[in-house]
Chain A
Amino acid sequence: MSKVTAGLDRVTRVPGVRGALIANSADGLVVAEQLMDGVDGRAVAALAGSLIARLARTAHSAGLRPPVFVHLRGDEGSILAAPGADGLVLLAVVGREANVGLARLEMLAAAGRLA
């Protein structure tokens, strides 16, 4: 679990990141989280987890490999997702001013260690 926590730490240290969590995409439940006040981790896990599971199914149906990174961009910020092994997915909630490029690098590195 320390590896997981370390991964969340590195992601949340990126400027503009308001929280990071690991969810199980199959059941949409939070496995671990580090969130600022006001970020509803349960909702992010449920909705983003479901989206990632659907994306993986869609990609599979189209004969493609599952996505390695997903960026959902909204008016006020974004949700970033990096699927890892065993159905786990690393998620980050970032503000509009966030350094998405750095967050992406940290997330891909952390997601590679998820198991």
Chain B
Amino acid sequence: MSLVNFTAREITCKIVYYGPGRSGKTTNLQYIYGRVPESRRGRMVSLATQTDRTLFFDFLPLELGSISGFSTRFQLYTVPGQSYYNATRKLVLQGADGVVFVADSQARRFDDNLESLQNLQDNLLAQGVDVRQLPAVFQYNKQDLPSDLILTQSEMDDALNFRSVQSFEADALHGHGVFETLRGLSELVLKRLAAGTAVA
């Protein structure tokens, strides 16, 4: 849940990048880390295995600047995508203000996307979070791959986006769609905050 400090006029929001293994969650954070001036970001923490697969989480704190007079900070987390790390995913998901679901657009990863999305819903339900109320967006990553290997945005929407939330095409490796995704979710999270539903 967002923390709002009315005295110091600060807002801190927790955003979680969710999705199947190797869909590009860490790549999103790495791209953001690489683009943001040092003064506006903290250290990017990656608790990864020796082969660079996320083991616990990646974490990147960002200083967004002033919004409506509130100094606004985002904490970006990724979860480990591999199915056997579910205990860890649950922990990272705790208290999330919004979720970016990073799906792999490759046709052969179709089932992995579905399984991960189902897992997200199960974990949110287990934490008593109303999935319909939680700000969420989809990012369909790897759209730069040859068209015969991937599904289009509308095909991905049909397969995953039952709630018709915002979705974004992306090529996270080169940054395409990364900004738009973060912007889309940030807006939803802050809108919810503006409505006064997530004040600590």
Do A and B touch, yes or no (CB under 8 Å, in the complex)?
A: no
Q: Which A residues lie at the B interface, using CB under 8 A? A: none
